[in-house]
Amino acid sequence: MTQLPEELRDIVKGTIDGLTSFIESECLPVEQKHRETLENEAKLFGDDGRLVPEIREARDEIRRKSAKAGYWAMFAPASIGGDELPALVSVYLLESIYRKYGAGHLMVGFANAFLTTPLVGGFVDGPSHMFAQANETIKTDIVPHLMAGEKTTCFGATEPDAGSDLWSLKTRARKVGDEWVINGTKQWITNSPYADYAIVFAVTDEEKYAKRNMFDSGITTFIIDTKQPGVDTNTIFPIMGHVSSDCGNVIMEDVKVKEEYVLGNMNQGLITAMAGISEGRLGISSAMVGLAEWALDMSIQYAKERVTFGRPLADRQAIQWMLADSAIEIFNSKYATLRTAELVDEYPKTGRLPIKEISIAKCYAVDMCQAVCDRAIQIHGGMGLSSELGLEEAFRIARTLRIPDGTSEMQRRTIAGQLLRGDTVF
Ligand SMILES: Cc1cc2nc3c(=O)[nH]c(=O)nc-3n(C[C@H](O)[C@H](O)[C@H](O)COP(=O)(O)OP(=O)(O)OC[C@H]3O[C@@H](n4cnc5c(N)ncnc54)[C@H](O)[C@@H]3O)c2cc1C
């Protein structure tokens, strides 16, 4: 188990090599060109909290190129023209990219805790697994723009009074003639300031909603055009240590949607949401493993080079134990994530959704990465706190990711729920 099957070895190697060379030729030179702006948030964001036009254009350009080169939509479902690469491949790929490039790159990687990056689409911005449920109209009108990286989406579930508790949604959609009319506010929505479409979850059947059955929830998934009348995406929130972010509100006032823009089945929106959220949780786990490896690699190197009291830090047991603790946690997290990915890939055969394992992988990985980055900062002393090395940014990313895609408490709630239902297989 967790041994990369032979048929995937070439795919993983080829994709990592290809993506790395794409980053070197298309992303890093762009970062270099805009370095002064990227490193100074007073220049990076305009007065409205949005990225300044030159950076937005640079990001859009990389996304389109990545789509053309076959990376942006490589995990998208085959039914919409994606490569549908297995979950196991995604783990190796994201781990490897984050290990190599670490934190502090705004054009590399995938969505992080502060800004989405334009390389690989995820459920918060691109053609995700949720689109496996797309009907013909959505496939014709929307999917081609997403696949080409020309347009992006955002995922609107959370509301001011409904975060962990999606049974407190206030957003409602009512049928008027042959259209749906949506009212409500979505909050903390990644990519909302830039998304062309918002995937929003609204209650459509009060009776079903009151019964709290996740499989027949009374919630329906709609795709709305963010430029259409009644949609306001002007509010953007600063996130931990930054003056702005990609996260904002999607406010809907009498927003009209045609029946054809329902994604998935009526009243089964939570199933659609979980397809996206599960993909996101595994992605976060993989990125956290790679980011932690990057921080440990830096720590090992620094411990060998930095001399205090006449000897390298690496000679000191206090430092060695920090390195060893990080290695123990990374190993556990990496193999938990890989095994979870295997279980996800085996799902069509086994019919067993690894709900418990996805929560374990995400919950552990964010804690692990935060702890590893914390030790890395400590080993680097004052340098660890400087923004130059990116370690403090990695720490903030890990800390932030304990909240989105289900807080650590909600992951534990899910794990305990599964255990109590009898799922005690490890
Ligand atoms: C950077 C970022 C990006 C995000 N992107 C998106 C996005 O793209 N789309 C989207 O829909 N949402 C997004 N979110 C929202 C995110 O999913 C929510 O913030 C999260 O689900 C928690 O909801 P909340 O903030 O309302 O906190 P609450 O649900 O109010 O929880 C507050 C605290 O109480 C704990 N808690 C709540 N209930 C219980 C309980 N029963 N038992 C024990 N502890 C409990 C929680 O774990 C948390 O620690 C994003 C958030 C952030 C910070």
Query: Among 122-126, 322-326, 357-361, 375-379, where is mean pLDDT lowest?
Result: 122-126
- Give the Å distance between the CA of 165 and the centre of ligand 1: 8
Q: Is the pLDDT of residue 112 over 80?
A: no
Convert the pLDDT of each residue in 90-100 to its tens digit.
Answer: 999 999 999 99
- The closest of 166, 168, 131, 145 to 275, measured between CA atoms, is 131
Binding site membership of 108 for ligand 1 (Cβ less than 6 Å):
no
Is 220 contained in some domain? yes
Same domain, 330 and 377: yes
Give mean pLDDT, residues 68-96.
95
Give mean pLDDT, residues 32-54.
95
Where do the H-state alpha helices sit in 104-186?
136-141, 143-147
Residue 184: beta bridge partners? 252
- Give the Å distance between the CA of 402 and the centre of ligand 1: 9
Inter-residue contact 226 to 233 (CB < 8 Å): yes
Query: Which mutation among 128, 188, 413 tests ligand 1's pocket best, with the greatest number of atoms within 8 A of CB?
Result: 188
Binding site membership of 239 for ligand 1 (Cβ less than 6 Å):
yes
Inter-residue contact 162 to 296 (CB < 8 Å): no
Same domain, 258 and 330: no
- Give the Å distance between the CA of 164 and the centre of ligand 1: 5
Same domain, 280 and 358: yes
Please identify, among 216, 251, 270, the residue that sits at the C-terminal boundary of a domain.
270
Same domain, 113 and 172: no
Convert the pLDDT of each residue in 121-154 to its tens digit.
Answer: 999 999 999 999 999 999 999 999 999 999 999 9
Residue 332 burial by Cβ neighbours in a 10 Å radius (0-12, 13-18, 19+): middle
Give mean pLDDT, residues 352-376.
97
Q: Place 6 in a pLDDT band, splitting at 50, 70 and 90.
A: confident
- Give the Å distance between the CA of 250 and the centre of ligand 1: 16
Binding site membership of 113 for ligand 1 (Cβ less than 6 Å):
yes
Same domain, 266 and 285: no
Give mean pLDDT, residues 381-389.
94
- The closest of 236, 254, 233, 255 to 246, measured between CA atoms, is 236
Q: How many Cβ atoms sit within 10 Å of the Cβ of residue 3?
A: 8
Is 126 contained in some domain? no
Give mean pLDDT, residues 34-44.
94
Q: DSSP E strands: which ranges in 85-178?
A: 153-156, 172-176
Q: Is the pLDDT of residue 413 over 90?
A: yes
Residue 2 burial by Cβ neighbours in a 10 Å radius (0-12, 13-18, 19+): middle
CA–CA dist 160, 165 (Å, integer): 11
When divided into structural domains, the chain yields a total of 3
CATH number assigned to the domain comprising residue 362? 1.20.140.10
Binding site membership of 157 for ligand 1 (Cβ less than 6 Å):
yes
Domain that holds residue 49: 6-120
**pTM flag (> 0.85):** yes
Convert the pLDDT of each residue in 259-293 to its tens digit.
Answer: 999 999 999 999 999 988 988 999 999 999 999 99
- The closest of 273, 319, 242, 280 to 45, measured between CA atoms, is 242
Cα 229 versus chain centre, distance: 29
Same domain, 164 and 264: yes
Query: Alpha-carbon dihedral of residues 291, 293, 295, 296, nearest 10 degrees?
Result: 160
Same domain, 57 and 114: yes
Please say whether the dihedral angle defined by the alpha carbons of residues 303, 399, 371 and 359, taken in this order, is positive or negative. Answer: negative
Query: Which mutation among 164, 186, 219 tests ligand 1's pocket best, with the greatest number of atoms within 8 A of CB?
Result: 164
Q: Which atom of ligand 1 is nearest to the CA of 408?
A: 47
Q: Which atom of ligand 1 is nearest to the CA of 114?
A: 1
Instruction: Output the residue whose Cα is nearest ligand 1's atom 38.
Output: 164
Residue in the block written with tokens 């691109």: 126
Please identify, among 249, 270, 291, the residue that sits at the C-terminal boundary of a domain.
270
Same domain, 260 and 308: no
- Give the Å distance between the CA of 404 and the centre of ligand 1: 6
Is 50 contained in some domain? yes
Q: State the chain's mean pLDDT as an integer.
A: 95
Is 127 contained in some domain? no
- Give the Å distance between the CA of 406 and the centre of ligand 1: 6
DSSP 214: G
Q: Is the pLDDT of residue 87 over 80?
A: yes
- Give the Å distance between the CA of 414 and the centre of ligand 1: 14
CA–CA dist 117, 309 (Å, integer): 43
Q: Which atom of ligand 1 is nearest to the CA of 190?
A: 8
- Give the Å distance between the CA of 137 and the centre of ligand 1: 33
Inter-residue contact 211 to 191 (CB < 8 Å): no
Same domain, 328 and 349: yes
Same domain, 113 and 190: no
Q: Place 2 in a pLDDT band, splitting at 50, 70 and 90.
A: low
**Residue 4 vs residue 193, higher pLDDT:** 193
Query: Which mutation among 124, 199, 246, 403 tests ligand 1's pocket best, with the greatest number of atoms within 8 A of CB?
Result: 403
Same domain, 303 and 393: yes
pLDDT of residue 5: 83
Binding site membership of 168 for ligand 1 (Cβ less than 6 Å):
no
Q: Is the pLDDT of residue 211 over 80?
A: yes
CA–CA dist 408, 350 (Å, integer): 27
Instruction: Output the residue whose Cα is nearest ligand 1's atom 23.
Output: 163
Q: Is the pLDDT of residue 1 over 60?
A: no
Beta strand pairing call for 197-203 and 307-308: unpaired
Q: Place 105 in a pLDDT band, splitting at 50, 70 and 90.
A: confident
pLDDT of residue 271: 93
- Give the Å distance between the CA of 249 and the centre of ligand 1: 14
